[in-house]
Amino acid sequence: MDIRIENLTKTYNDCHAVDHMSLTINDGELVGLLGPSGCGKSTTLFMLAGLTEPTEGKIFFGDRDVTKIPPEDREIGLVFQNYALYPHMTVEDNITFPLINRGMKKALAREKALEMAKLVKIDQLMKRRPGELSGGQQQRVAIARALVKKPQVLLLDEPLSNLDAKLRVETREEIRRIQQEVKITTIFVTHDQEEAMSISDKIAVMKKGVLQQYEIPQSMYLNPANEFVAGFLGMPEINMMEVDVKAGVISTSGITLREGVKIPDGHYHAGIRPESFRVAEDGISMNAERVRMTGRDLLLFTKLGNTPVRVLVHSDLQLAASDSFKASVREGHILVFDKEENLMGRY
Amino acid sequence: MPSKRKVIALILNILKYAFLIAGAIFTVLPFVWMIASSLKTPAEIVQVPPAIFPKAAQWSNYKVAWNAAPFAKYLLNTVIVTVCTTIGVLITTVLSAFAFSRLEFPGKKLIFSLFLATLMIPGEMLIITNYITIMKLQWIDTYQAMIVPWISSVFYIYLLTQFFMQVPNELYLAAKVDKCSDLKFMLRIMVPMNKQAIITIAILNIISSWNAFLWPLLVTNSDGMRVLSHGLIRFQTEAGASYELIMAASCILVMPIIIVYLFLRKYIIEGVTRSGLKG
Amino acid sequence: MEKKSFKGYLYLLPSLIIMVVFTLYPLIKAVVMSFLGDYSIIDGSYKSIGFENYQALFADKNFIKALCNTGIYVVFVVPCSIIISLFIAVLINSKIKGKAFFQTVYFLPYVTSVIAIGIVWSWMFNSEYGLINYILGFFGIEPIQWLNQPQYALPALIIFAIWKSMAFNILIFLAGLQTISEDLYKAARIDATPRFRVFTRITVPGIMPMIVYASIMGMISAFKVYNEVFALFKGKAGPANSAITVVYYIYDKFYNSNKYGIAAAGSIVLFLIILALTQVQLRVTGKRKKK
């Protein structure tokens, strides 16, 4: 089932929680709604679920306008951040609950529940209560409960935020696997860019209720639409600096970064990702003020003229604090932004 | 000096238990005296100095007292009133607490504040008019007169609303997505999840209904409608100095609740503590 | 959305009906009645409008006596009960064996019928065959006519009331004590704080809110004492009305003398007193919460 959102807006007391948002999600895609807290991503999800009424705009599931349809008739599965499992019911009762509400016979409902439990690998926990399960197991039960009624759309609200770091990586792969097996259009909300990038087919980045960019992860990372998206994606964070362009030369505090570009002369913002530097003999000379070992990489804290920058190099390069090194910026990895903070181009 | 410190600690410890036991004796003394007296012979009752315990337990006192007044009828009335009131209270309390904690409707806050404000009104002040109302309804000397005014309690509504509010709203939203109606959500999710609180409310209400005295006294006048506490007071005046019988009758009123208390004291103590700390 | 709003009221309806009929309406009616002279509940007729019920009320020796009795009752019952209860609660809360047993025993009076146990007390107070005079005899005290002599009626009521009120107070204090962090006591121990100082500097401040609450509740219930009197004195207010209380006075005016206006005026006075006490309570706890 593909989803079309048109001009979706939610206003609370003159404040736009979601502001004229439009996007289309293709059938079977996994889309991450990404943004800092308070950006309107959860509001969007709840509008898709039908739990929040939009102020303006329309939502289509396939050709059906569901804007005015109550949640129970939208054929959606919803997983909450805290899972919202019924604590007094067993896992089995939790999973069969939506089916029995729809008037299904108990025996059949149990059969369907077991099938779903096998898919999410909790079939041996059917008689337990949620309180006796780990966070990751509860998450699987919640997903099973959401999927058991064979919804057309699966919605997940911050599905991993209540898990510890190791479990989070494991569970997100599980979500991806389950989603691919069931081939269900899925939308999940997260504030973690790494999470969004690692499992989404497409990411929608939001800021203050406004959709900033909607793209497949790789393109978005390479071609962020604006400074916000550039800053929000990537860890360690992108280096932002002031640059001057004069006669096709980009420079920052007198240091030439690139020659022969076709941009009008002027003052701009530019972003260079830490991993966009390449150690090169003919590069810019820099001094590593601090060095942090992260395993595969070394993170160097240095200065490009007056601007503090972070540079990521391979840890084979044995550098210590206050060592100097030479590096240049890889072709096409300087992101230049205009006055409106939108991307002008990569140089 | 550790030995000296040990001695002091030991003395303090002994004093501690001595005081606690003395207090406990003071607390249970009336109960012991009641039970002991109920098993005495008339001669032992007026014996000077009194013996705490009877030489031989006169269980027949209970039979005599039971037959001296229509206690079976009183007991039945008390049970009817208690059961009906408690069922009524549970229904209205669950419905109202659910409305206040989950449903949206205009004026909700105002009505809730109004409900809370009535907690400050002493019930004693309302009795005159309520008596007139019951009279006008021609309910004097009926069960409904003893039951209906008590089937809703703002206090329990407040208590249960607090419990219901603690249930994460996501459960409600999840149930909605799963095609669960409000009524079904209340019965299938909210009620079982708050079973403990509801049992507590039921027990607290059973105790207060069972022990109710003044209102049943006002709105009934025939012997056939009397409840136990009312019947006991009547019996006290009729039995004169036959204290062994009066004490036996008192036991009949007190013992059922004490047995309930001993079995379910966890709920009662927790309920009263919660209400005390919140109120 | 409109369907929703209608639904909320549907759930609330049973409680609302009961509250309007049996709480709000009587409240208003009581206020109105208190200003009507010689009000009749049969046909709703009255002879005058004004403050005469209130004048009659405060001119009545018995009402003044009821207020005085309540005052004396508060002065004795509230502090005695609180001090003993606090002491017992602290002991139960310390490391002792049989904690559950003591807690169960001490709470017993709370659940028992005041009527039944009041009758038991009246039997214990019996001047000839009663247990209390017998025990006092060990201390060389002559038998006291507890229930028949005016000067002893109120003390008898007070003893009964202390016994009855301790149960609730102990429970509240125990709950309060459990909210005091164990770390505070550990810290005090490291600082070698004497036991008494631990009690006055940590325990008492820690459960101050419960002490305030118990005091106010004690005062409020003092004004409402009725069943206790009824049971102790066989439906009378003690010899020569010596143990009359505010609520006893109101019911007597209403039920026995049929002076509905005066009874209503008395209930309004009761309401105002309780309202004032509740406000004090809210003020004190409110301040605490802000801190």
Q: Average pLDDT of C131-159?
A: 91
Cβ pair A82:B180 closer than 8 A: no
Cβ pair A101:B179 closer than 8 A: yes
pLDDT digits (tens, 9 = 90+) for A109-138: 999 999 999 999 999 999 999 999 998 899
Q: Does B11 touch chain C (CB under 8 A)?
A: no
Phi-psi region of A309 (alpha: psi -120 to 50; beta: other; left: phi over 0): beta
Distance from the B110 Cα atom to the nearest Cα atom in chain A, whole angstroms: 21
Q: What is the pLDDT of residue C185?
A: 86
Say how many residues make up chain C.
Answer: 291
- Strand-pairing partners, residue A96, are none
- Is the confidence at residue C290, as pLDDT, over 60? no
* Residue B199 in tokens: 């049992």
Residue B244, Cβ density class (10 Å: 0-12 exposed, 13-18 middle, ≥19 buried): buried
Report the percentage of chain A scoring pLDDT > 70. Answer: 100
Q: Average pLDDT of B37-63?
A: 90
Q: Which residues contact C196 (CB under 8 A, 6 or more apart)?
A: none
- Is the confidence at residue B277, as pLDDT, over 80? no
**Would you say A217 and A334 are in contact if contact means Cβ atoms under 8 Å apart?**
no
Query: CA of C137: which chain B residue's CA is closest?
Result: B49
Say how many residues make up chain B.
Answer: 279
Q: Are strands A343-346 and A335-337 parallel, antiparallel or unpaired?
A: antiparallel
Cβ pair B178:A149 closer than 8 A: yes
What confidence tier does B1 reach under pLDDT thresholds 50, 70, 90?
Answer: low
**In chain A, which residue ranges form alpha helices assigned H by DSSP?**
41-49, 91-101, 106-119, 135-147, 165-182, 193-199, 217-222, 227-232
> Which of C115, C278, C285 is the best mutation test for B, with the most CBs of B within 10 A?
C115
pLDDT digits (tens, 9 = 90+) for B87-103: 999 999 999 999 999 99
**Would you say B203 and B271 are in contact if contact means Cβ atoms under 8 Å apart?**
yes
pTM above 0.95? Answer: no
Cβ pair B192:A102 closer than 8 A: no
Neighbours of chain C (3+ CB pairs under 8 A): B
Interface size between A and B, measured as CB pairs under 8 A: 58
Residue entry with tokens 């005015």: A68
* Residue A208 in tokens: 């203050």
Distance from the A138 Cα atom to the nearest Cα atom in chain B, whole angstroms: 14
- Is the confidence at residue C42, as pLDDT, over 80? no
Cβ pair A101:B178 closer than 8 A: yes
Which of A331, A14, A60, A12 is CA-nearest to residue A185?
A: A60
Using omega within 30 degrees of 0 as the cis cutoff, is the peptide bond preceding B30 cis? no
Which of A133, A149, A138 is CA-nearest to residue A96?
A: A149
Residue C122 Cα distances to B222, C131, C137, C147, C194, angstroms: 26, 10, 18, 8, 44
pLDDT digits (tens, 9 = 90+) for A35-62: 998 889 999 999 999 989 999 999 999 9
Q: What is the pLDDT of residue B124?
A: 87
Report the percentage of chain C scoring pLDDT > 90. Answer: 60
* 3-class SS of residue B51: coil
Q: Average pLDDT of B220-246?
A: 90
Q: Does B240 touch chain C (CB under 8 A)?
A: no
Phi-psi region of A103 (alpha: psi -120 to 50; beta: other; left: phi over 0): left
CA distance B252 to C120: 13
- Is the confidence at residue A312, as pLDDT, over 70? yes
Distance from the B84 Cα atom to the nearest Cα atom in chain A, whole angstroms: 28
DSSP label of A342: B
Residue A323, Cβ density class (10 Å: 0-12 exposed, 13-18 middle, ≥19 buried): middle
Neighbours of chain A (3+ CB pairs under 8 A): B
What confidence tier does B239 reach under pLDDT thresholds 50, 70, 90?
Answer: confident
Q: Average pLDDT of A334-341?
A: 92
CA C218 remoteness from chain centre: 5
**Would you say A221 and A197 are in contact if contact means Cβ atoms under 8 Å apart?**
yes
Q: What is the pLDDT of residue C288?
A: 63
Query: CA of C259: which chain B residue's CA is closest?
Result: B128
Which chain A residues have any C-beta within 8 angstroms of a chain B C-beta?
49-51, 70-74, 76-78, 80-84, 86-89, 97-98, 101-102, 145, 149
CA distance C223 to C73: 9
What confidence tier does A21 reach under pLDDT thresholds 50, 70, 90?
Answer: very high
- Is the confidence at residue C239, as pLDDT, over 60? yes
- Is the confidence at residue C2, as pLDDT, over 80? no
Q: What is the pLDDT of residue B2?
A: 62
Q: How many CB atoms lie within 10 A of CB C184?
A: 15
Query: CA of A97: which chain B residue's CA is closest?
Result: B178
CA distance B245 to B55: 17
A80 contacts on B by Cβ (under 8 Å): 170, 173-174
**Would you say C161 and C225 are in contact if contact means Cβ atoms under 8 Å apart?**
yes
Cβ pair A88:B192 closer than 8 A: yes
C263 contacts on B by Cβ (under 8 Å): 128
Which of A252, A318, A222 is CA-nearest to residue A279?
A: A318
* Residue A234 in tokens: 């990537």
CA distance A300 to A318: 11
Phi-psi region of A106 (alpha: psi -120 to 50; beta: other; left: phi over 0): alpha
Our separate counts of H helices and E strands in chain A read 8, 21
Q: What is the pLDDT of residue C155?
A: 94
- Is the confidence at residue B218, as pLDDT, over 50? yes
- Strand-pairing partners, residue A59, are A5
Cβ pair B177:A77 closer than 8 A: yes
What confidence tier does C3 reach under pLDDT thresholds 50, 70, 90?
Answer: very low
**In chain C, which residue ranges form alpha helices assigned H by DSSP?**
2-19, 25-34, 52-59, 61-93, 99-111, 114-124, 131-138, 150-179, 182-190, 195-198, 204-206, 208-223, 227-232, 246-251, 260-290
Q: What is the pLDDT of residue C190?
A: 82
Which of B115, B275, B100, B88 is CA-nearest to residue B186?
A: B100
Q: What is the pLDDT of residue A153?
A: 94
Cβ pair C129:B33 closer than 8 A: no
CA distance A45 to A29: 15
pLDDT digits (tens, 9 = 90+) for B98-119: 999 999 899 999 999 999 899 8
Cβ pair B133:C25 closer than 8 A: yes
* Residue A198 in tokens: 């690692």
Which part of chain A has CATH 3.40.50.300? 3-232
> Closest to C275 (Cβ–Cβ): which among B120, B133, B211?
B120
Average pLDDT, chain C: 89
Cβ pair B99:C8 closer than 8 A: yes
Residue A273 Cα distances to A222, A303, A335, C240, angstroms: 10, 14, 9, 96
CATH number of A239-346: 2.40.50.140
Q: Average pLDDT of B194-202?
A: 92
Q: What is the pLDDT of residue B9?
A: 84
What confidence tier does C4 reach under pLDDT thresholds 50, 70, 90?
Answer: low
Q: What is the pLDDT of residue C291?
A: 47
Q: What is the pLDDT of residue A13?
A: 85
- Strand-pairing partners, residue A58, are A6
Helix (H) or strand (E) holding B235: helix B228-239
Q: Average pLDDT of C15-41?
A: 92
**Would you say A149 and A98 are in contact if contact means Cβ atoms under 8 Å apart?**
yes
Cβ pair C250:B132 closer than 8 A: no
- Is the confidence at residue A304, as pLDDT, over 60? yes
Q: Average pLDDT of A169-195?
A: 93
Report the percentage of chain C scoring pLDDT > 70. Answer: 97
Q: What is the pLDDT of residue C289?
A: 58
Q: Average pLDDT of B16-43?
A: 94
Q: What is the pLDDT of residue B279?
A: 42
Q: Which residues contact A265 (CB under 8 A, 6 or more apart)?
A: A245, A246, A247
Q: How many CB atoms lie within 10 A of CB B121?
A: 19
CA distance A206 to A219: 16
- Is the confidence at residue B198, as pLDDT, over 70? yes
Q: Which residues contact A121 (CB under 8 A, 6 or more apart)?
A: A140
pLDDT digits (tens, 9 = 90+) for A57-103: 999 999 999 999 988 889 999 999 889 999 999 999 999 999 988 88
Phi-psi region of A62 (alpha: psi -120 to 50; beta: other; left: phi over 0): left
Architecture of domain A3-232: 3-Layer(aba) Sandwich (3.40)
CATH number of C60-290: 1.10.3720.10
* Residue B128 in tokens: 């005159």
Residue B215 Cα distances to A87, B91, B211, angstroms: 42, 22, 11
Domain boundaries, chain C: 60-290
- Is the confidence at residue A284, as pLDDT, over 50? yes
Q: DSSP letter string over A116-178?
A: HHHHTT-GGGTTS-GGGS-HHHHHHHHHHHHHTT--SEEEEESTTTTS-HHHHHHHHHHHHHH
Distance from the B60 Cα atom to the nearest Cα atom in chain C, whole angstroms: 19
Q: What is the pLDDT of residue B160?
A: 94
Cβ pair C131:B277 closer than 8 A: no
Neighbours of chain B (3+ CB pairs under 8 A): A, C
> Closest to B173 (Cβ–Cβ): which among A51, A83, A145?
A51
Distance from the B197 Cα atom to the nearest Cα atom in chain A, whole angstroms: 14
* Residue B89 in tokens: 């209270």
Cβ pair C27:B30 closer than 8 A: no
